[in-house]
Structure 1
Amino acid sequence: MKTALKQSIAAPHRLGFLAGSGLLLLCFIWWGAHMLGRWQGVVLPSAVLPMFLHGYSMTYCFFPLFMLGFIYTAGPRWLSVPSPRLHRYLPIMLGYLLGGIAVIASAFNTSMLMLGVSVQAVAWLAALCVWLLAIKHSHVKDQLHARLIALAFALGWIGMLLALLWAVTGNTMAWLWSVQIGVWGLLLPVFLAVSHRMIPFFSGSVLQPYRPWRPSWWLYTLVGCSLLRIVLIGLQINTVLVDAIMAGVLLYTTWRWDLHQSFRVKLLAMLHAAFAWAGVAMLLATMSEALKLFGHHGLGFAPLHALTLGFFCCMLLAFVTRVTLGHSGRPLIAGGMVWTCYWAMHGVALARVLGEVLPVNQAAAYALAVLLALLALFAWSRVYLPMYWQARVDGAAG
């Protein structure tokens, strides 16, 4: 038991991924219960309105822990600085985990919401400070990815403060802005920065011939558009032009990074296919905003869920799988189980999107999405979670 505990905190990615996985499962179990109940015509009791708790938890509860696990592992290599020591990342990650548990528990007791969001906001500020110190101590010239991630982390903290305002006062506008900033200011910029840096690198290391393509203008354009989108929403200006620019760049990138060729290596294909959802999501957003210009209602939550479930969740599964295998000393090979779970997550995104745009039973579509998600996540967790408290199979440290 002591050995397993020591192993689970021996490296940032171990603790971050383990804690993040626990919160990920909790969030999907809670939301799954509500969606399955809705399908059966049963409204489950909740101390906090489920839609609001869903919006915060799916944006802030688990993604940041995975981000810290990755960036505290890979980021120091980008910057040529030492990795954060245990006494720095342990309290941050455990605090964030406990805050997330309190947030989910607020479904049964509203007083837990303010506590949970407060703890997560404090932990995230500490996490941001650790990352800023790493950047400050680095003498590497190319710090673009690191600095953009720091900016996204800072915006994420602002989003958490707005969520705290919502938790304290019940101000629904504060909640709405918290989620908007979380999606477009924190999650999307981080996923774009990491994809821009890592996908061409991974592709070039296993595909030959392959010419990595990752121009700096790509990051400035997409992150800039993502942040501009927040401003336009605040000014109540239609975002169709910004969405169209993002869709064009992202869809071109999917082609330029050679999605088809990536299927020669399953673990690589998982990254590329997940990234393809980003272009699809922004294309749907463009169509939705264009429809609104002509007085229609748009495509509902289809673009948002194509982005969050399609891009974010599928990419999360792909990246975490690759990092876990590599840092546990195992071969970088995607077996049949993880391959099946991964495509099941694509099915989750597809079911959720089609439930918005097609004349189908929405409750049934949502229930299908939830069931697929739970099956995929539990099957993946059964195999991969033990790797975080087990020693590396090659006997190396970390």
Structure 2
Amino acid sequence: MNTLFKQTIAAPHRLGFLAGGVLLLLSFIWWGAHMLGRWQGVALPSAVVPMFLHGYSMTYCFFPLFMLGFIYTAGPRWLSVSSPNLSRYAPVMLGYLIGGILVLASAVNTHLLVLGIALQAIAWSAALWIWLSAIKRSQVKDQLHARVIALAFTLGLLGMAIAGFWAATGSTAAWLWSVQIGVWGLLLPVFLTVSHRMIPFFSGTALQPYSPWRPSWWLYTLIGCSLLRIVFISLELNTLVVDSVMAGVLLYTTWRWDLRQSFKVKLLAMLHAAFAWAGIAMLLSAISETLRLSGYVGLGFAPLHALTLGFFCCMLLAFVTRVTLGHSGRPLITGGLAWTCYWAMHGAALARVVGEIFPSIQSMAYALAAALALIALLAWSRVYLPMYWQARVDGAAG
């Protein structure tokens, strides 16, 4: 047992991905049970309104741990600084994990919600300080990606603080703001920044000929629009202009990064195909806002779930699979299981989006989305989570 624990804390990505994986499974099992129950006409008991707990858990519970596992591993290389010490990152990640477990347990006891969110906010404050310290120590001139992530982490802390106010007071407005800031201020900026830095790089090393394309204006435009969207929402303005700009840039990028050619390498195709959901999500959002301006009903949560389930969750599986294989000493070749689980998650995203657009099949579509997501995550976790407490197959450290 002692050896397994030492292996788990041997590198930031091991502990971050394992802790994130645990919360990912728990979050989806809980919500999947509610979706399947709704399909059968059964309302499962919950001390916290399920939609509210779902909104917080799917935004803040597990994604930040995966982010820390990745950025504490790859980030120091970007900045040419040393990786954070175990004594720094381990308490942060374990604290965040315990906070997430308490948040999910609030479905049984509502008093645990405030405590869980508070613990996650404290842990995240320490995580942000570690990352800011790394940036401060760095002498590298190009710190654009690192600084954008620092900004997103700061906004994430603000979102958690507002979520804490919601948990303490029951304010629906505070809950809504925490989710909006979490999606558009934390998650989307981080996913876009990492995609901008890593997808062209991975493509250039795996495909020949290939000309990597990642202009700085791309990042300024999309991050600016994502943050501007929060401002528009606060002023109750229609977001059509912002959504259209983002959709145009993202869809062009999917073509420019050459989605079709990426299928020559499955592990690379997983990154490109997941990224395609970002453009689709913003296109759906632009269509929804156009319908509202025209006096019609919009597309509901279809754009949001195209972004969260489609882009975020599919990209999470793709990136974590790649990092896990590479840092466990295994070949960067995805097997049939990872490939199948990955596409099952695409199916979950598609079913969730279709269920919003066609209300007549909504309950069945939700249940299908939940079933596909659970099957995908359980099967993937059975193979990949043990790698975080196992020694590298090549005998190397880390």
Output the TM-score relative to the length of structure 1. 1.00
**1:33 corresponds to which residue?**
33
**Deviation readout 1:81-102 (Å, 9 max, x if unpaired):** 0000000000000000000000
- Higher mean alpha-carbon deviation, 205-214 vs 288-297, is at 288-297
**1:382 corresponds to which residue?**
382
**Deviation readout 1:241-277 (Å, 9 max, x if unpaired):** 0000000000000000000000000000000000000
**2:137 corresponds to which residue?**
137
**1:87 corresponds to which residue?**
87
CA distance in 1, matches of 2:296, 2:178: 26
**1:115 corresponds to which residue?**
115
Cα offset for 1:359?
Answer: 4.5
Determine helix, strand or coil for the equivalent of 1:391.
coil
Determine helix, strand or coil for the equivalent of 2:360.
coil
**1:362 corresponds to which residue?**
362
2:113 partner letter = L
**2:56 corresponds to which residue?**
56
CA distance in 1, matches of 2:29, 2:381: 14
1:272 partner letter = H
CA distance in 2, matches of 1:32, 1:204: 38
**1:4 corresponds to which residue?**
4
Map 1:19-30 onto structure 2 (within 5 A): 19-30=19-30
**1:204 corresponds to which residue?**
204
**2:289 corresponds to which residue?**
289
Map 1:213-362 onto structure 2 (within 5 A): 213-362=213-362
CA distance in 1, matches of 2:296, 2:43: 30
Q: Is 2:393 the counterpart of 1:393?
A: yes
CA distance in 2, matches of 1:176, 1:297: 20
CA distance in 2, matches of 1:342, 1:116: 30
**2:188 corresponds to which residue?**
188
Where in structure 1 are there 5+ consecutive unaligned residues? none
CA distance in 2, matches of 1:122, 1:372: 34
CA distance in 2, matches of 1:360, 1:9: 48
1:217 partner letter = W
Cα offset for 1:294?
Answer: 1.1
Determine helix, strand or coil for the equivalent of 1:107.
coil
**Deviation readout 1:330-366 (Å, 9 max, x if unpaired):** 0000110100000000000000000011253211110
CA distance in 2, matches of 1:48, 1:163: 13
**Deviation readout 1:153-183 (Å, 9 max, x if unpaired):** 0000000000000000111100000000000
Determine helix, strand or coil for the equivalent of 1:66.
helix
CA distance in 1, matches of 2:20, 2:286: 32
CA distance in 1, matches of 2:292, 2:362: 22
Q: Is 2:46 the counterpart of 1:46?
A: yes
**1:97 corresponds to which residue?**
97
2:92 partner letter = I
2:310 partner letter = G
- Higher mean alpha-carbon deviation, 293-302 vs 59-68, is at 293-302
CA distance in 1, matches of 2:376, 2:9: 26
CA distance in 2, matches of 1:349, 1:364: 14
Determine helix, strand or coil for the equivalent of 1:360.
helix
CA distance in 2, matches of 1:360, 1:172: 28
Output the TM-score relative to the length of structure 2. 1.00
CA distance in 2, matches of 1:297, 1:81: 51
Cα offset for 1:295?
Answer: 1.3
CA distance in 2, matches of 1:314, 1:200: 18
Cα offset for 1:297?
Answer: 1.8
Where in structure 2 are there 5+ consecutive unaligned residues? none
Q: How many residues were matched structurally?
A: 398
CA distance in 1, matches of 2:359, 2:385: 39
**2:15 corresponds to which residue?**
15
CA distance in 2, matches of 1:86, 1:148: 25
Determine helix, strand or coil for the equivalent of 2:156.
helix
**Deviation readout 1:290-330 (Å, 9 max, x if unpaired):** 11101112000000000000000000000000000000000
CA distance in 2, matches of 1:295, 1:80: 53
Structure 1 residue ranges, 4+ long, deviating more than 3 angstroms after superposition = none
Determine helix, strand or coil for the equivalent of 1:295.
coil
Cα offset for 1:233?
Answer: 0.3
**2:152 corresponds to which residue?**
152
CA distance in 2, matches of 1:328, 1:386: 11
Q: Percent of counterpart pairs with the same letter?
A: 80
